[in-house]
Amino acid sequence: MRQMLVGLVLALVASSVRTEPQPQGDWCSSRNASNEQKITGCTVKIQSGGEAGRALAEDYDSRGAAYVARGQVEEGVADYSQAIALNSSYAEAYYNRGSAYDGQGQHDKANADYTKAIAIDPDYAEAYNNRGISHIGQGLIDPAIVDYTQAIALKSDYAQAYENRGAAYGRKGLYDSVIADETQAIRLKSDFAQAYNNRAAAYAGKGLYDQAIAGGSQAVALEPDNPQAYNNRGNAYAGKGLFDRAIADFSQAIVLDPDYARASFNRGAVYGRKGLRDRAVADFRAALAGDPGMTKAKEALTQLGATP
């Protein structure tokens, strides 16, 4: 009987240990905590007065990441800045703040932060990749390609860097380079929808419409809610003269994104080739509504004798 009572006491103690709630401060660095829990946990640690220097900087950085993930970018930037103030050699905080700035379209500030992160850690492949993205945001294609190339040199299995460099080559019309990079991205990540999409666009640019349609279909299968995938496959169908299929794809792209000016323009161009002037005019006007600076839509309307 005595042994049974001891066993019962031990079982109760073990049960008590298992059900004890996790201290809120632990949420700050927990991979399993929600963003709300991370914010609460990091705030508890920050306000406790028990941490300083690098440890406190990490708390601010973690809370900043949770704020950004919740869409509270300004709060996130403020926390990243505080982390940097506490630890001026904190490369990750510079990187994270740069990402937040990029998301706000502040590419010059993002570029400066990525550059600082690289100065602190010259092997920071992700910082090179993201600085390439900020270069693209500034319209600087060649510097972006240089940065993507460095990211790949540092991290040879970096699928996102290959995809990004391929997209940059696409802006220069270097279709063979696009195909090579996007193919490598797909080898590294077989379900990489954007890589299929970019490669399909490059195939279409080379007039290889069957390959473009196949790649576009793969992109659509992987991301059925991506209007760009339908638009690119529509271009390939149009290139083959399959106008009804092209119109169906452009229409689906517009359903998914009613302000997608390029899809409206492309559908208008196909309507024009089918001799459906009124529909073409309507689509070119819709394209201008979505992108008032689209010169080719204005020119198409002029050629049809219609006003914008």
pLDDT digits 0-9 by tens, 88-146: 999 999 999 999 999 999 999 999 999 999 999 999 999 999 999 999 999 999 999 99
Q: Is residue 178 part of a domain?
A: no
On whether residue 71 sits in a domain, the answer given is yes
Nearest Cα neighbor of 124 from 164, 86, 96, 166 is 96
**Neighbour-count burial of 136, counting CB atoms closer than 10 A to its CB (0-12 exposed, 13-18 middle, 19+ buried):** buried
Please report which confidence band the pLDDT of residue 2 belongs to, taking 50, 70 and 90 as the band edges: very low
CATH number at residue 37: 1.25.40
Q: Is 273 left (phi over 0), alpha (psi -120 to 50) or beta?
A: alpha
pLDDT of residue 124: 97
Would you say residue 237 lies in a domain?
A: no
Q: pTM (2 decimals)?
A: 0.85
Domain-located, residue 125? no
Give the chain's domain count.
1
Rounded-to-integer distance, Cα 193 and Cα 215, Å: 9
- The pLDDT tens digits of the residues spanning 135-152 come to 999 999 999 999 999 999
pLDDT given at position 256: 98
Is 73 part of any domain? yes
Residue 231: inside a domain: no
Domain interval for residue 65: 26-88
Residue 31 lies in a domain: yes
Using CB atoms within 10 Å of the CB of residue 275, give its burial: 0 to 12 exposed, 13 to 18 middle, 19+ buried: exposed
89: helix, strand or coil:
coil
Give domain status of residue 63, yes or no: yes
